[in-house]
Structure 1
Amino acid sequence: MGSSADSIRNALWPATAREAAPVSDAFAPGRSVDVAIVGGGFTGASAALSAASQGASVALIEARTIGWGASGRNGGQVIPGLKLDPSEMRAAYGEDRGSRLVQAVGNGADDVFGLIETLGIDCEPQRSGWIQAAHAETALARVQKRCDEWAGLGAPAERLDRAAVSRLTGTDAYLGGWIDRRAGTIQPLSYVRGLAKAAQRLGATLHEGTTATGLARKGNRWEVATSAGPISAGRVIVGQDGYADGLVPGLAKSLICVQSALLATEPLPEALRARIVPGGICSSETRRLAFYFRQSADGRLVFGGRGAVGDTENPAFFSALTTAMHRTFPETKALAIAHRWSGQVAMTLDGLPHIHEPEPGLHIGIGYNGRGIAMATLMGRWLADRALVGTEPPLPITPLTPILWHSLKGPAVQLGITWAWIRDRLGFAG
């Protein structure tokens, strides 16, 4: 059995990225910057771009390479919104703040595709919509209510019956659902590389292969200890998400990380390209342990799911994923699987992203729960604005609270997965 972390070498995205990797800048120990950013994924690159565009001096520190973590491993689906419906956001946060949050996250895909166009990022963007396909009648009622809420706010969303889902996805596995035409697909590694290089052009420095090993307050500034030496910063932004370590005490223990695994077939024959999620459409299920799928720009079926715990790749998980793909799209049984890989997805107990400020000048955004492209892009900008000018983000800032039973996370997550399977079989929506 291999390592999930090392599986990046088998992933589709490094093999097909059109955006070249950025060239790392020389690290100058003892340098002083306005903002130090830890983590070279969507959050960190977006924060670096936003801060540098405001004239701040920025150093982005990445232990591996830009996009090495979840940002270079995910399915490339750009989905607006959160796991909460608009009415639920307003109920949770109040009418004023909830409405601000609804507007912000509802525009998340607009922000991503707008950046791609403005910055000229070569990441194969297609904006044909996202289908949430219902696996049971109760789930269908839930997601079509979600559709009605977003459509009532002016979003280009519409209900889909069984025949429509079948026509648009190429599978008869679902009872119906809805389509959100704000959504789309990208090549995620190219996108994060493009963000990072755009930040670099504005003066941010990128330091790959540099591990942040400690944070310490020094008066009104921070000293960031790294494997290449210290750096001084007025503010620190941490965007490690599912790869959080011990840098910020308690941060990793506030998250439950599970593996998300993906398969990519050999290129589909032309007839299948025209039938299976054609034209840039992407889809995911209503199950809590949902499968998700799309075509890549070169015509492969990319099929993913989650459920394994820990870093070790479990061959049985990939076998189950392959079986699910063949069950959903029987025609793929004749196709070779050309790429398979996995990575950590950071889940929070409430299913929502979190913003923390455990100390003045230390800003953290985490917990995207499978909605990382649009949400992390937003989060990076929110954190940069908060760090530089004190802007209050639409999402409330909450205390950093470790999960009490985190030391038992392996058995606990397995119990949670079992419960999720039970809920899925009973037809509840995720």
Structure 2
Amino acid sequence: MLNDPHSHGLWEISAPAAPQTSSLTASLTADVIIVGGGFTGCSAALHLAENGVKAVVLEAVEVGYGGAGRNVGLVNAGMWVMPSDLTRTLGTDYGQRLLTALGDGPQYVYGVINKYGIPCEAEPVGTLHCAVGQKGLEELQQREAEWQGLGAPVVLLNASDAAAKLGTSVYTGALWDKRAGTIQPLAYVRGLAKAALAAGARIFTGTPVLAVERSGNGWTARTANGSVTAPWVVMASDAYTRMDGPWPALRQEQVHLPYFNCATRPLSAEQLAGILPERQGCWDTRSVLHSYRLDHAGRMVIGSVGSFAGTGHAVHRAWAKRALAAIYPSLANVEFEAEWYGKIGLTADNLPRFHRLAENVISFSGYNGRGISPGTVFGREIADHILGRKGAEDLPLPLTDPHDAKWQKAQEAFYSLGAQVSHLMPVTF
């Protein structure tokens, strides 16, 4: 996108074409203005349009330009934090509500994919959280105990059983979450947009929102060549919120963590033999984690924390080659076909946020690297709230105000530099 091969990499190469859209060049009225064409925005538009609500999505670049089109494609259940930490932070009522909503999230995502026939390489076969050393294994033992205590179908595999599913013996175990899986994320968000358009929503791309202003009893979103007026506004721009657009506080409350991926060329049958035979997506317990998975064509996608800006490209690309060879020695000489990166919006407690930014202006944001399932689910929740089916107090998150992240720029610089330092080191297990 924007002639940048490092923005969406493999996903842009392999995704079906985006639905036909254009930029806004008129003054329109609607029931809901949605700023952002990612998982949350397109899901909200779809669920609203199916209920007869006139929803207009205004996307600054293209559908899926932000985190939706750049991520690893793991459809995870829950958040990064332990379930007990989540309920401790949010309280029992909201904590249990969020755990239920996101625990059921992957099933909901795959249901949406099946309902609308979205061609996005769906693999609902679970994910494997891989233990590095004894410390990593102890972390996964705690995760297994907590999730099983909530009735979730998660199983901690010992080293030999994990090796059978992974095709590598470098880990001390792996937590198999049977609720989860993988997708081609850009293909999925484009499918959501196509379904939303078919239901009656309108989506305008290449249309940055410059300002949102009061207009009678509603709001007017102003763009370079048009405007939309509606009673409701949904801010669904998350980590890609523009500082020169409406409500930059959504950007200011997040610390951006860069994340990159590299994809090999399609592997041969001999190279694939024994590697991820069931196609689970994987990540590990390191603080600077590794993630990897296969796509439908048999490409290996490996990624970690870091940006391809400046010196980061050479450092992280070289690390990806070494890490892949350390995990799967048979892939030591495989070349990369695509490389790309984006940014993850982190909040202070690693949990998402629900804000009422003004009267009838709402947002969900801060997905902390778990955008696919939460984005889809929260888009549905937004629609239920606007439709009057759920009050603010009935949603999976408490209503809060945005607060600026402490030492935001310093933390972002630390993550970017720290990832390079980490990736200059030998890859060990």
The TM-score, its normalising length taken from structure 2, stands at 0.91
Matching residue of 2:13: 15
CA contact (8 A) 2:312 2:420 kept: no
Offset of residue 96 of structure 1: 2.5
Please give the secondary structure, in 2, of the residue aligned with 1:31.
strand
CA contact (8 A) 1:127 1:185 kept: yes
Matching residue of 1:406: 408
Read off the aligned partner of 1:29 and give its amino acid letter.
A
The Cα offsets for residues 2-44 of structure 1, whole Å up to 9 and x where unpaired, read as x999335661111111x33111157352211111111111111
Alpha-carbon distance between aligned partners in 1 of 2:181 and 2:277, rounded to the nearest angstrom? 12
Alignment of 1:48-197 (within 5 A): 48-197=45-194
Offset of residue 145 of structure 1: 1.9
Read off the aligned partner of 1:408 and give its amino acid letter.
A
Cα distance change of structure 1 residues 384 and 313 upon mapping to structure 2, 3 Å threshold: farther
Alignment of 1:18-417 (within 5 A): 19-24=16-21, 27=24, 29-246=26-243, 247=245, 248-308=247-307, 314-389=313-388, 391-392=391-392, 393-413=395-415
CA contact (8 A) 1:259 1:310 kept: no
CA contact (8 A) 1:162 1:175 kept: yes
CA RMSD of aligned residues (A): 2.5
CA contact (8 A) 2:42 2:193 kept: yes
Offset of residue 356 of structure 1: 1.5
Cα distance change of structure 1 residues 309 and 293 upon mapping to structure 2, 3 Å threshold: closer
The Cα offsets for residues 139-181 of structure 1, whole Å up to 9 and x where unpaired, read as 2112222122222333221111111111111122211121001
Read off the aligned partner of 1:398 and give its amino acid letter.
T
CA contact (8 A) 1:222 1:235 kept: yes
Alpha-carbon distance between aligned partners in 2 of 1:109 and 1:210, rounded to the nearest angstrom? 31
Please give the secondary structure, in 1, of the residue aligned with 2:397.
coil
Alpha-carbon distance between aligned partners in 1 of 2:417 and 2:359, rounded to the nearest angstrom? 37
Please give the secondary structure, in 1, of the residue aligned with 2:400.
coil
Unaligned runs of 5+ in 2: none
Alpha-carbon distance between aligned partners in 1 of 2:52 and 2:178, rounded to the nearest angstrom? 35
Alpha-carbon distance between aligned partners in 2 of 1:101 and 1:420, rounded to the nearest angstrom? 34
Cα distance change of structure 1 residues 308 and 185 upon mapping to structure 2, 3 Å threshold: same
The TM-score, its normalising length taken from structure 1, stands at 0.91
Alpha-carbon distance between aligned partners in 1 of 2:75 and 2:117, rounded to the nearest angstrom? 17
User: After TM superposition, where is structure 1 displaced by more than 4 Å over at least 4 residues in a row?
Assistant: 309-313, 414-421
CA contact (8 A) 1:289 1:307 kept: no
Please give the secondary structure, in 2, of the residue aligned with 1:11.
helix
Unaligned runs of 5+ in 1: none
Aligned length: 421
Cα distance change of structure 1 residues 4 and 31 upon mapping to structure 2, 3 Å threshold: closer
